[in-house]
Amino acid sequence: MRTSNHLIGALNFLTFLLSIPILGGGIWLSGRANNTDCLKFLQWPLIVIGVAIMVVSLAGFAGACYRNIFLMYFYLWAMFVIIAALIGFVIFAYVVTDKGSDRVVPGRVYREYYLVDYSGWLEKRVASDSNWRKISSCIRDSHVCPKLRRMTGGFPEPADMFYRRKLNPVQ
């Protein structure tokens, strides 16, 4: 029994240490969040996840080291809820994106993705005016479009050269 408590304590201490950069990343984003909607969107989930992992790992660490049964029960139930939520999120993401896939486009190296190929829920969320404004703001703030621009001999790249380039799905 002593070895398992030490193992649980050590694993939870490592988990606690790993939660610090997650929480720090959320706090760092909150300092920059006034600039873009993307950063505002990411800051709170990171902070909540960092704090949740920190609290649960501290409860597991203290429960294992001090043999506190209440903390161990809290730790087990909290871990159950976190794991169930992660499994639920994975299943939800799979169901929402299951039907979508890329399509071959004649005369182009890259493949295209069409919103209508995905679930109706995702299509409605992306196509709604308020959500699309946030998505387009994220795309603008990431400067994806200017990064696609290439110059050939001092002139912008011709369209036929662009269509022959290998692009990732975001591009």
* CB contact set of 47 (below 8 Å; sequence gap of 6+): 23, 26, 27, 30
What's the CA gap between 59 and 78, in Å, rounded? 10
* Confidence at residue 126, expressed as pLDDT on a 0 to 100 scale: 83
Q: Can you tell me which residue has the tokens 């969040």?
A: 33
The predicted-structure confidence for 125-135, as pLDDT tens digits, reads as follows 888 888 888 88
Question: pTM for this one?
Answer: 0.68
The predicted-structure confidence for 115-163, as pLDDT tens digits, reads as follows 778 888 888 888 888 888 888 877 777 777 777 777 777 778 887 777 7
Report how far apart the first and last C-alpha atoms of the chain are (Å, whole number).
55
Q: pLDDT band at residue 165, thresholds of 50, 70 and 90?
A: confident
* Confidence at residue 34, expressed as pLDDT on a 0 to 100 scale: 60
Average pLDDT across the chain, whole number: 82
What's the CA gap between 114 and 90, in Å, rounded? 22
Q: Residues 55, 82: contact at Cβ < 8 Å?
A: no
Burial label, 87 (beta-carbon count in 10 A; 0-12, 13-18, 19+): exposed
Phi and psi at residue 168, in whole multiples of 5°? -85, 170
The H or E element containing residue 51 is: helix 37-66
* CB contact set of 153 (below 8 Å; sequence gap of 6+): none
What's the CA gap between 47 and 26, in Å, rounded? 5
Sign of the CA dihedral running 105, 106, 107, 109 = positive
* Confidence at residue 133, expressed as pLDDT on a 0 to 100 scale: 83
